[in-house]
Amino acid sequence: MSKKVLVTGGLGYIGSHTVVELLDSGYTPIVLDNLSTSDLEVMDRIEHISGQRPIFEEVNMCDAVALRKVFEKHPDLSGVIHFAAYLLVDESVHQPLKYYQNNLVSTMNLLELMSEFKVKSMVFSSSCTVYGIPDTLPVNEAESVKEAESPYGNTKRIGEEIIRDATRSEELKTISLRYFNPIGAHHSGILGEFQEGVPHHLVPYITETAIGKRSGLKVFGGDYDTRDGTCIRDYIHVVDIAKAHISALEVATEMEPGVNDIINLGSGEGSTVLEMIHAFQNATGINIPHEVVARRPGDVPAVYADISKAKKVLNWEPVHSLEEMLASAWKFEQTLNK
Ligand code: WQD
């Protein structure tokens, strides 16, 4: 009997790619989502790719009674991968209580039920945003966590601490994965990063410019202390991120009860915004009209990962190049607009 894994936020960008990897690895994912920022059509896409349609539970995790019903229905869960969260930095600045309420209450409800139903292993979706402006680069997990640049980032920092403390008190086995900048799409082109309205993130904005939905890209700031004046980020293929979750789940299951670990997930390389534009043009042959404008509040000048711990603990390393990441994002954009 294959191992059942509860995947919260399983219809989201990283969640859906991880569900595909879980199915490919012989797990039985239970996909939990409240459809607030995703669509049931993603289930069809997962089925199309993997040839299997996972069990779907439409649940708002802030509703503890509804979430309990999922644990009662699936008393044989072997672990949890917890993606479910609101994740838009600028939205969180304008609606902090919505973010604290959703991202933290859902996590606390989940931890209480894991303890009650003796589900010990959890992998948590955290973010490099907890590093703020890092003291050293590349940044490693020993770096101190900084004052978050946004309420979204704060929910990740506080979420990590809630999980760390509950791990000790409830004898759980947990790993928080700090993603850098996930980009790209499944090679099929039918799963990817879909953002309603005007894209907040760089790569969806580039692909929407390439397909003609946007007239040009605004580069937020050209006067940073970097090699070309634009911000540096560590871009990592979403499928590399998804595969790391399978490894992390297996490692967590083998950990001693009461142990929590924290691991960076990035490429280990930094790329500037202008380098991303040029990489996209190299990967697709498409020119991206762009202009440098004022800085975006809350952006950090440069952040990229030391991934030596992920290599050691998860026996994982990224395999996709920047051009492959961008070509896959472009393929997804073209599929969306067929
Ligand atoms: C990347 C770079 C922008 C759009 C966010 C979250 C982080 C994680 C990943 C969830 C920055 C520049 C962007 C544009 C631009 N999310 N940019 N023009 O802000 O690094 O990280 O997404 O875990 O937690 O904070 O990603 O793609 O928004 O920006 O110049 O139209 O591209 O200034 O330097 P970010 P991003």
Is the Cβ atom of 295 under 6 angstroms away from ligand 1?
no
Cβ atoms of 276 and 203 within 8 Å: the answer is yes
d(CA 149, CA 131): 9
Specify the ligand 1 atom closest to the Cα of 199.
Answer: 31
Q: What's the gap in Å between 275 CA and the centre of ligand 1?
A: 14
Residue identifier of the C-alpha nearest atom 30 of ligand 1: 219
In short, whether 302's Cβ falls inside 6 Å of ligand 1 is no
Q: How far is the CA of 310 from the centre of ligand 1 (A)?
A: 23
DSSP 213: S
Mean pLDDT of 201-227: 97
What is the C-alpha separation between 5 and 8, in angstroms, rounded?
10
Reply yes or no on whether the pLDDT at 297 is more than 90: no
The radius of gyration computed from the CA coordinates of the chain, to the nearest angstrom, equals 19
3-state secondary structure of 20: helix
Q: What pLDDT is recorded for position 82?
A: 98
Is 205 a residue of the active site?
Answer: no
For residue 128, give the ligand 1 atom closest to its CA. Answer: 24
Return the DSSP state at 142. T
On the question of pLDDT at 147 being above 90, the answer is no
**Bridge partner list, 265:** 179
With a 6 A CB cut-off, is 129 part of the ligand 1 pocket?
yes
> pLDDT per residue over 239-289, tens digit each?
999 999 999 999 999 999 999 999 999 999 999 999 999 999 999 999 999
Residue 285, token pair as written in the block: 């042959």
Looking at residue 149, its pLDDT comes to 81
Question: Is the C-beta atom of 127 inside 6 A of ligand 1?
Answer: yes
Q: Tokens representing 301? A: 């000048």
Residue for token digits 């209450």?
A: 105
Q: Give residue 187's pLDDT band: very low, low, confident or very high (50, 70, 90).
A: very high
**Pocket probe mutation, ligand 1, options 133, 181, 290, max atoms within 8 Å of Cβ:** 181
Query: Given this model, what pLDDT does residue 14 score?
Result: 98
Ligand 1 lined by 201 (C-beta under 6 Å): yes
Q: Do the Cβ atoms of 155 and 84 come closer than 8 Å?
A: no
d(CA 15, CA 124): 11
Return mean pLDDT, the chain.
Answer: 96
Q: What does the pLDDT read at residue 218?
A: 98
Position 103 scores a pLDDT of 98
Q: Tell whether ligand 1 has an atom less than 6 A from the beta carbon of residue 181.
A: yes
Burial class (CB in 10 A: 0-12, 13-18, 19+), 305: buried
Taking residue 275's Cβ as centre, other Cβ atoms within 10 Å add up to 18
Dump pLDDT digits (tens) for 160-172.
999 999 999 999 9
Annotated catalytic residue: which of 13, 86, 131, 152?
152
Q: Whose CA is nearest to atom 18 of ligand 1?
A: 219
Residue with CA nearest ligand 1 atom 2: 202
pLDDT over 70 percentage in the chain: 100
How confident is the model over 47-70, as a mean pLDDT? 97
pLDDT tens per residue, range 82-126: 999 999 888 999 999 999 999 999 999 999 999 999 999 999 999
Assessment of whether the complete model's pTM goes beyond 0.95:
yes
- Going by C-beta distance under 8 Å and a sequence separation of 6 or more, which residues neighbour residue 192? 13, 184, 185, 186, 238, 328, 329, 332, 333, 335, 336
| Nearest ligand 1 atom, CA 205 | 31
**Angle between helix 322-336 and 202-210 (nearest 10):** 60
What is the pLDDT averaged over residues 301-312? Answer: 98
